[in-house]
Amino acid sequence: MIASAKRKVLDGLNRRYIYGRVPLLHTIIFLIEMAVATRIAAKFNTYYAEKPVLTTMVTNAVLGGVADTVAQLITAVKARSQQRGSEGGDDFISIEIHDLDKEKPPVVGEVGPVRTPLPPFDFERLTRFMAYGFFMAPVQFQWFGFLSRAFPLTKANPTAPAFKRVAFDQFIFAPFGLACFFSFMTIAEGGGKRALTQKFRDVYMPTLKANFVLWPAVQILNFRVVPIQFQIPFVSSIGIAWTAYLSLTNSSEES
């Protein structure tokens, strides 16, 4: 009876979303993450005043999850676009609907011609990104605090200390942060010394160069204008696109 009810729900979803072009599961997860992020943003000052480090950790984790979900969504849309081009099919979401119903395989012709399985949502990968954001936040918190103490902004000359912060951040913390990222992801994926060496050889330097293109301008604005309690969330928010890029880079190397 439960299986029958489940099947009816899935059939209803199939009929409703069969012509969709965006993967349903990815979209649902993205909306949930954005709802959580909005809730945190609304109460951020209160949470930060009580528990600044923990608030930063949770915020980083949620925004890291958003970024990876965006990256997985991009991958899924690209895969579906390629499949439509090769097969002429129009339905996208039906694949994930059937992924949810593992007990019964799809009937031929029920949801349209699908020959190549599309990439399912990778919850383990999402967990890795959220965990990295969570555990990296205390390091960022201490680093930003050090920069604010070492190079205080003064009314007379706020620009020079801001540039010094950016220089220290980009030439010291950025290489360290990327090394931590690729090391954490590789180990969390079960890779050993060989996988870690290969990842550093293939993607570390190109990613670091891309970092130098984007982040100096962002950090000048961050250190010059944004209050210190918002600096890490600001970086994480702007970094959604950057983290999505890292996710795509890391996953492409993994595959």
Write out pLDDT tens, residues 111-136: 544 445 667 899 999 999 999 999 99
CB–CB of 80/21 below 8 Å?
Answer: yes
- Give the Cα separation of 8 and 90 in Å (integer): 23
CB–CB of 155/81 below 8 Å?
Answer: no
pLDDT digits (tens, 9 = 90+) for 141-170: 999 999 999 999 888 888 899 999 999 999
- Give the Cα separation of 1 and 47 in Å (integer): 45
Both tokens of 138, joined, read 């205390």
Where does residue 238 rank: exposed (0-12), middle (13-18), buried (19+ CB within 10 A)?
A: middle
At 164, give phi and psi (nearest 5°): -65, -40
Containing 211, the helix (H) or strand (E) segment is helix 205-225
- Nearest alpha carbon to residue 20 among 126, 116, 118, 125: 118
pLDDT band at 100 (very low <50, low <70, confident <90, very high): very low
pLDDT band at 102 (very low <50, low <70, confident <90, very high): very low
Q: What is the DSSP string of 22-42?
A: S-HHHHHHHHHHHHHHHHHHH
Query: How distant is the alpha carbon of residue 251 from its chain centre?
Result: 12
- Kindly tell me if the per-residue pLDDT of 104 is higher than 90: no
- Nearest alpha carbon to residue 111 among 22, 16, 27, 23: 16
pLDDT band at 177 (very low <50, low <70, confident <90, very high): very high
Helical axes 52-87 vs 228-254, angle rounded to 10°: 40
- Give the Cα separation of 132 and 31 in Å (integer): 21
Q: How many CB atoms lie within 10 A of CB 213?
A: 8
pLDDT band at 8 (very low <50, low <70, confident <90, very high): low
Residue type (1 letter), 118: L
Q: What is the DSSP string of 104-155?
A: SPPPTTSS----SPPPPP-HHHHHHHHHHHHHHHHHHHHHHHHHHHHS---S
Question: What pTM was estimated for this model as a whole?
Answer: 0.73
